[in-house]
């Protein structure tokens, strides 16, 4: 789970960087490209986080269904 959290954080960092490039771009096509790239990185981060939540819920479900001795 730590690897996934690190991956999500990396995607958000990359998105921030792409946004900075987009803001400084003078060429409208480059600006649009980097804005799109930033949005894509944010979407990837969100998807990773959704998987983390799903896995966490799945693990909690498994732990709660364990028979007690």
Domain ranges in the chain?
2-64
Average pLDDT of the chain to the nearest whole number? 91
pLDDT for position 47 = 97
How many angstroms separate the CA atoms of 27 and 19, rounded? Answer: 14
Q: How confident is the model at residue 66, as a pLDDT?
A: 65
pLDDT score, position 9: 97
For the chain, residues with pLDDT lower than 50 are none
Q: In 10 A of CB 37, how many CB atoms?
A: 17
């Amino acid at each position: 789970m730590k690897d996934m959290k690190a991956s999500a954080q990396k995607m958000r960092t990359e998105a921030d960087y792409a946004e900075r490039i987009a803001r400084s771009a003078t060429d409208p096509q480059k600006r649009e490209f980097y804005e799109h790239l930033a949005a894509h990185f944010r979407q990837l981060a969100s998807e990773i986080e959704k998987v983390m939540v799903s896995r966490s819920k799945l693990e909690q479900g498994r732990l709660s269904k364990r028979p007690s001795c």
